[in-house]
Every structure is written in structure tokens, then in C-alpha cells.
């Protein structure tokens, strides 16, 4: 194993892999329907990395000390035969954790297969418990019950479950405490994600952000919570525990309390580009290397060179001007 660090001494430890740029939702803050309509040019099959290509790259990343892989999208469960990819990744020496981020609709169908293949945790996106609010967010008429069914199926399959809620002022801020009460009662960790300026199509404005401090204060008015020490360097969520319980609540505060200084994550897009930041405007083409006959050592050297030159810290230096710069959509780069 060859541990590498970037120009700010941040190690490479986590790999997020987007397996599809397609999704069955059209959430306003991610894939707004007016942009991602029926004529949107999604990637075709030849442009997308095969399972074998993904596995080969994951094996190379593991040689740098990457232990955690998260499969994302789009909606990753739209990728045909995804459990087969999980099985291949689980066989890689050094890979200890494989997790999945999903909207949960297909979890009831795939939860047991994912668990058997090697997934250890699922992060399920759910932004409201109110059917009308939720349908208004996903813009596809999908009700809450289908997601809850997936969450409980994942639990029954033995998967760890975390629920992610993106909060936007005027969209679902009245759902914060109903979500807290429900998932506290169920003993499931709920994580609040500040509305972020990912991509250029979601109409981001700081005025729409409900900050981690505001969320913390709101919850504390009803429930006593205490901070929990991080599990590892680079943990994204700031975690708290409801006093007297083992149930946690977390906050992902990319806007108000940035965590660039401890970011250990690389991202692999659906078409094989390496990105060193969620807010990047360009990537580094690994697919071209794969398909033009590069050997593992060549690819390893390429990745090492990219990482060691990495200097990203967008959230720390966010300005009105930088917000106007073209950034890639989260559905393409993976969350």
C-alpha cells in the first residue's frame, strides 16, 4: 500500500463511484424537471464504465489506502445488475466498507441482494414525511410510503440505515421536527444536509440555507442532544446523540461550517472521470487510459499525480463570484 497526500496533506481514503447519471426523481435541488426533461442527453451505454472497468479502478485506488467505497448516482439502483458490481468490489483486498446512497424506492426489491453482495450500509434520501410536500420535491408523484418501505426492508435485511434530509427554506423546513420525532422513535440516524450550490441548475441562494446551528437549536428545544466523537478523520457529519439513547442525529454543514481541511474523498463519474471535489468544474479522464491500453502502473501514476497536486477547498473560499462559475451537476459527479 502506498499512502499519498495532497498539497494540503489530506490523505486519499474514500472513493465515491457514480454508476449512473439517470434518476427516477426530479428533485428541485438536484435534477430540476425543467432542465432534466425527456430530451436531456444522458450518457449512452458506451460512455459508461463497465463493472470490470470500475472494479479495476477500485483495485488501483485501494493500493493507495482507500478502504471505503460509496456507490452513488443518479439513482444507483437503476444500474442493471448492481449487486454483481458489489460482489466484485467486495473481493478487493483492502476494501472494508461498501455503502450505497439511494432514494430508497427500489430498496424493498434489492435490499437482501445488496446485503448478500457486500453492502454494509445504505444512506436513504428522504426530505419529508408529508406526501404532498414529498411529491412536490421529487416531481414524479412518488409518495413517502414507497421510501419508508425500502428503509424498513433494508433494516430487515441487516443493513445499517442512515436517512439524509436536504433542508431548504420554504421547501420543507416545516418537516424538520416531524422527521426528527419519527426517526428518533424508530432508532434510525437522521442526517440534515444544508442546501448546497452543487451544479448550476438548482437556483441556489444562501438565503434558502437553514444552517447547522439553526437546526441544532431547533432540535435542542425539544430533545437534549450531546456531541459524539468522530469515528475517523474526515468524517463528514457532525454527530450528536439523543441523551439517554443510542440514537444519533447528524449535520452535514458544507455551507456554514465547512470541512474542506479534512476531506479525503475522490469521486469517479459515471463515464470514468476522476474528480477531487464535489464542486469541481472539470475532471481527469481515467476511461481514456483504461480503453487505450494503459497498464495499472500507468493509471496508478496518473492518479497519484492528480491527487498530490490537489488543492481544492471550494466551501472555505465560496464567494458570489465563484458561485457563478460552471460546476458539474451532482447527478453526474455523484453526491
Any idea what the Cα angle at residue 180 is, between residues 175 and 185, rounded to 5°?
130
Q: In the chain, how many domains are there? A: 1
CA distance 184 to 154: 17
Q: Which three cell numbers stand for residue 29?
A: 435541488
Residue 32's domain comprises 14-333
DSSP per position, 239-307: EEEETTSS-EEEEE-TTTS--GGG--EEEE-TTSEEES-TT-S--EEHHHHHHTT--HHHHHHHHHHHH
| pLDDT value of residue 315 | 67
Q: Decide if 258 is inside a domain.
A: yes
Scan for cell 438548482, then name that residue: 202
Q: Decide if 9 is inside a domain.
A: no
CATH of the domain at 317: 3.20.20.70
Q: Decide if 3 is inside a domain.
A: no
Q: Decide if 280 is inside a domain.
A: yes
| pLDDT value of residue 314 | 65
- Confirm if 95 and 89 have CB atoms less than 8 A apart: yes
Q: Decide if 259 is inside a domain.
A: yes
Torsion angles phi and psi, residue 90, rounded to 5: -65, -20
Q: Decide if 150 is inside a domain.
A: yes
| pLDDT value of residue 231 | 79
| pLDDT value of residue 254 | 78
| pLDDT value of residue 251 | 94
> Strand, helix or coil at 46?
helix
Q: Which residues of the chain have pLDDT under 50?
A: 321-323
Q: Decide if 239 is inside a domain.
A: yes
Amino acid at each position: 500500500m502506498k499512502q499519498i497526500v495532497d498539497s494540503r496533506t489530506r490523505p486519499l481514503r474514500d472513493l465515491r463511484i457514480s454508476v449512473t447519471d439517470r434518476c427516477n426523481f426530479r428533485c428541485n435541488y438536484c435534477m430540476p424537471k425543467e432542465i432534466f426533461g425527456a430530451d436531456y442527453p444522458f450518457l449512452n451505454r458506451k460512455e459508461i464504465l463497465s463493472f470490470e472497468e470500475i472494479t479495476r479502478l477500485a483495485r488501483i485506488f485501494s493500493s493507495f489506502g482507500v478502504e471505503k467505497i460509496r456507490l452513488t448516482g443518479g439513482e444507483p439502483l437503476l444500474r442493471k445488475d448492481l449487486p454483481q458490481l458489489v460482489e466484485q468490489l467486495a473481493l478487493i483486498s483492502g476494501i472494508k466498507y461498501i455503502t450505497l446512497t439511494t432514494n430508497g424506492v427500489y430498496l424493498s426489491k434489492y435490499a437482501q441482494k445488496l446485503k448478500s453482495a457486500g453492502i454494509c450500509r445504505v444512506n436513504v434520501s428522504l426530505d419529508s414525511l408529508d406526501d404532498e410536500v414529498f411529491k412536490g420535491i421529487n416531481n414524479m408523484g412518488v409518495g413517502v410510503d414507497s421510501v419508508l418501505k425500502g428503509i424498513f426492508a433494508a433494516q430487515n435485511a441487516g443493513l445499517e440505515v442512515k436517512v439524509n434530509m436536504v433542508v431548504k427554506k420554504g421547501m420543507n423546513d416545516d418537516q424538520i421536527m416531524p422527521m426528527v420525532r419519527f426517526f428518533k422513535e424508530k432508532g434510525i440516524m437522521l442526517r440534515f444536509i444544508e442546501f448546497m450550490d452543487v451544479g448550476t441548475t438548482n437556483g441556489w441562494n444562501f438565503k434558502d440555507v437553514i444552517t447547522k446551528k439553526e437546526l441544532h437549536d431547533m432540535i435542542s428545544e425539544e430533545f437534549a442532544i450531546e456531541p459524539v466523537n468522530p469515528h475517523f478523520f474526515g468524517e463528514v457529519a457532525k454527530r450528536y446523540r439523543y441523551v439517554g439513547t443510542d440514537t444519533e442525529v447528524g449535520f452535514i454543514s458544507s455551507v456554514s461550517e465547512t470541512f474542506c481541511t479534512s476531506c479525503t474523498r475522490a469521486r469517479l463519474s459515471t463515464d470514468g472521470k476522476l474528480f477531487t471535489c464535489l464542486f469541481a468544474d472539470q475532471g481527469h479522464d481515467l476511461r481514456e487510459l483504461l480503453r487505450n491500453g494503459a497498464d495499472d502502473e500507468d493509471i496508478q501514476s496518473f492518479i497519484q499525480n492528480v491527487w498530490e497536486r490537489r488543492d481544492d477547498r471550494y466551501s472555505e473560499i465560496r464567494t458570489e463570484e465563484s458561485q457563478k462559475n460552471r460546476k458539474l451537476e451532482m447527478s453526474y459527479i455523484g453526491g
